Structure 1
Amino acid sequence: MPIRLHWILSVIDPYNNTVYYLDSLCEDGTTGTKRDIISDLQDIVNTALFQFQSDREITTKLKMNTKWLKIKCPQQPNCINCGHYVMRFMKEIISHTRTQIPENYFSDCQFPKYDQEQIDEVRIHWVRYVLQQI
């Protein structure tokens, strides 16, 4: 049986010690496709945040725990579209130009899942980008 990899999106706000976690596959309250994945990710991000804050001498932040916010986001209907969902999340987050992501995601982007047109839009943008690099 082939190994399946899963894409998630973590948006890190180092100045506010906050990590926004978007997982399009997991809807049942658990985080990550396996419970140990999130703990590994948390360890890596927490270490990086500690180093970032130490390098910048943000001593007041060093005493705070990192706040992890699981964002309720559109859920993929299968186990293969996670990459498209992550790219769509990035596009929507950037287009909103906000400094925080609402826990219920953006009101104008609240879909239970993306339709084929929304997925195709991501694919078209990706192809255009790749072709410009050639």
Structure 2
Amino acid sequence: MLYFYFSRYYWILTIVNEDKNMIYLLDSMSNRNRDDAWKTMVTNGVKMYNASKGIAKAPGFKQLTGNLKQSGFVECGYCVMRYMKEIVECENLQLEKMFAGTIKNQYYNQSQYDEVRSEWSEFIYSYLDA
């Protein structure tokens, strides 16, 4: 399950892998300090879901740092949409391998932002045109 979260004027992407009992976080500014309210809320939600299924084990939590970053201060929403697009298009969906390691000083470029903007605009426009 993919969840995007907006906190303090900033978007992040959370992925819950029910099969692995794992919660992943993708943050386009992964080196910034943030509160743990979102992590606590998602972890507690997964714990309650697990309890309803008879699973006592708490979920794991891992921040995936091998993702491209935003180049400025206002692109976080487009980064989250880009992460979702890459995950949906991935055939094997091995997130830990897909976003493994640490990518430093590698950013999405303008054409990658524009691709997401264009696809999003076309999608919204298709509903407005109906």
TM-score tier (shorter):
0.7 to 0.9
Asked if residue 76 in structure 1 is aligned to residue 75 in structure 2, the reply is: no
**TM-score normalised by L of structure 1:** 0.77
Taking only aligned residues, the RMSD between alpha carbons, in angstroms, comes to 2.5
The alignment of Structure 1 onto Structure 2 pairs a total of residues equal to 119
Higher relative CO (Cα under 8 Å, sequence separation at least 6) belongs to: 1
Which of 55, 80, 83 is the matching residue for 1:89?
83
With the length of structure 2 as denominator, give the TM-score of the two structures. 0.79
Partners of 2:14 and 2:26 within 8 A in 1: yes
Match of 1:54?
51
Does 2:42 correspond to 1:40?
A: no
Instruction: Give the aligned partner of residue 3 of structure 2.
Output: none
| Equivalent in 91, 103, 116 of residue 122 of structure 1 | 116
Q: How far did residue 78 of structure 1 move?
A: 1.1
Residues in 1 aligned to 2:91 and 2:98: alpha-carbon distance in whole angstroms:
17
Between Structure 1 and Structure 2, which shows a larger proportion of strand residues?
2
Q: Is the 8 A contact 2:26 2:63 kept in 1?
A: yes
1:12-62 deviation digits (Å, cap 9, x = unpaired): 1123221111110133xxxxx5432xx2112111111112112222x3xx2
**What are the Cα deviations for residues 70-118 of structure 1, in whole angstroms up to 9, with x where unaligned?**
1121111211000000000000011003343025627xxxx81111111
Q: Is the Cα–Cα contact under 8 Å of residues 12 and 20 in structure 1 kept in the other structure?
A: yes
CA distance in 1, matches of 2:72, 2:92: 30
Runs ≥4 residues deviating over 4 A: none
Gaps of 5+ in 2: 1-6
Cα distance in 1 for partners of 2:120, 2:84 equals 13
* Structural mapping, 1:98-117, within 5 Å: 98-102=92-96, 105=99, 112-117=106-111
CA contact (8 A) 1:69 1:103 kept: no
